[in-house]
Structure 1
């Protein structure tokens, strides 16, 4: 289901691939980890300290981020050091922050996507 442009050499991502990529960014824990890694490569215990997430939670989300190709790891002695795989990811997160400056009120008011932090969805039966 890949779209191919006229010259047949360039393959564009499909809507499904884009959606799958954004699902990788859609979890607050993964975003916290990515934000921490934007400052530079870190080992798991450093990510735990910077994000206030548990070590098992960080390890689980790092596995997901590795599988998705958003982070990479390098051996550093007995530890694995994790880093953002592409500078474009850091740029994307920065662009998202800039976009939120424009659309934050609409995002906050949106009843379709609620965080799991005690917010209840609107009553649509009325």
Structure 2
């Protein structure tokens, strides 16, 4: 009788896994996703985003700073105005399209997942965040 060896386990790249977690954490906020949706249609100033999303200027600025630090958003200055845009629009569009397909395949199971609930969670964000 011969003993079968278990197949080797793949090595987990902890650095890459951490980077993925950081990226998804940056994308895990409904306000940041709404900002990205608005920027997907073109450049916006903070004041435009404040108006479109009906949020405080400080909230918009805080989330834009996070997205900018993560490399997802870039800014250009024109006079006294700062214009924000997506740093990698095609890649982000593909990522969000893939997420949409995954949500279509899993239905509302993500929304109902109790493991994702935490004290600061809000009602699930609607997938129909308006784009102005």
Give the TM-score normalised by the residue count of structure 2.
0.74
RMSD (CA atoms): 2.1
Give the TM-score normalised by the residue count of structure 1.
0.77
| Counterparts of 1:76 and 1:113, CA distance in 2 | 41
- Indicate which of 114, 117, 120 corresponds to 2:122: 117
Name whichever of 93-102 and 110-119 sits farther off. 110-119
- C-alpha contact (below 8 Å) 1:84/1:90 kept by paired residues: no
| Counterparts of 2:97 and 2:72, CA distance in 1 | 15
| Counterparts of 1:94 and 1:53, CA distance in 2 | 26
Larger Rg: 2
- Indicate which of 81, 89, 92 corresponds to 2:95: 92
Number of corresponding residues: 109
Higher RCO (Cα < 8 Å, 6 or more apart)? 2
Structure 1: where are the runs of 5+ without partners? Answer: 4-12, 120-126
Structure 2: where are the runs of 5+ without partners? Answer: 1-11, 125-132
> Match for residue 43 of structure 2?
41
- C-alpha contact (below 8 Å) 1:36/1:51 kept by paired residues: no
> Match for residue 102 of structure 1?
105
The structure-2 alpha-carbon separation of the partners of 1:50 and 1:98, relative to structure 1 and needing over 3 Å to count, comes to: farther
The 3-state SS of whatever aligns with 1:14 is helix
